[in-house]
Structure 1
Amino acid sequence: MSDPWLSADNIATHLGVTKDTVYAWIAEKGMPAHKVGRLWKFQASEVDEWVRSGGAASSAKGTSLGDQ
């Protein structure tokens, strides 16, 4: 059985970030999301894999966490 589809609010809560961060990650970092009409929908398993593979990692530019 596949994962249920989650809303932007649900995936933000799942990840512990704001909904604005979710939208920024879709636009800037290729977060896996699917547009259904006007709404973005997410599969938690896809998003979890994306996070594990470093998709949500901060870029080195402007942060102290990047490679130096």
Structure 2
Amino acid sequence: MARAHASHRHPPTTPEVMTISDLAVYLQMSQSSLYKLVQRGSVPGHKVGRHWRFHKVSIDGWLQECSAKAARPTKK
């Protein structure tokens, strides 16, 4: 009896340098919302020619920083 082999798929890895569409998937947000944040300078990234590029390490650090700010109690 032939045995069916299940294909073992590994989750796709996040590239070290991401495009705007890669980053939108990584952050689970729309590209248009992400563009607004990028244009405000809220997201760490670099323009290469006409295209934005984002280093995963910088994005992960930025996310940690955002989480830390959100966890701080507000002063009255």
Deviation at 1:49? 1.1
Structure 1 stretches of 4+ moved >4 Å? none
* Residues in 2 aligned to 1:9 and 1:24: alpha-carbon distance in whole angstroms: 14
Deviation at 1:29? 4.8
CA RMSD of aligned residues (A): 2.5
Aligned to 1:5: 17
* Residues in 2 aligned to 1:51 and 1:20: alpha-carbon distance in whole angstroms: 19
* Residues in 2 aligned to 1:44 and 1:4: alpha-carbon distance in whole angstroms: 5
Aligned to 2:3: none
1:35 pairs, out of 28, 32, 47, with 47
Query: 26-35 or 5-14, which moves further after superposition?
Result: 26-35
Q: Computing the radius of gyration over CA atoms, which structure comes out larger, 1 or 2?
A: 2
TM-score (norm 2): 0.61
Aligned to 2:32: 20
Structure 2 unpaired stretches of 5+: 1-14
Structure 1 unpaired stretches of 5+: 58-66
TM-score (norm 1): 0.67
8 Å CA contact 2:16, 2:57 repeated in 1: no
* Residues in 1 aligned to 2:57 and 2:33: alpha-carbon distance in whole angstroms: 18
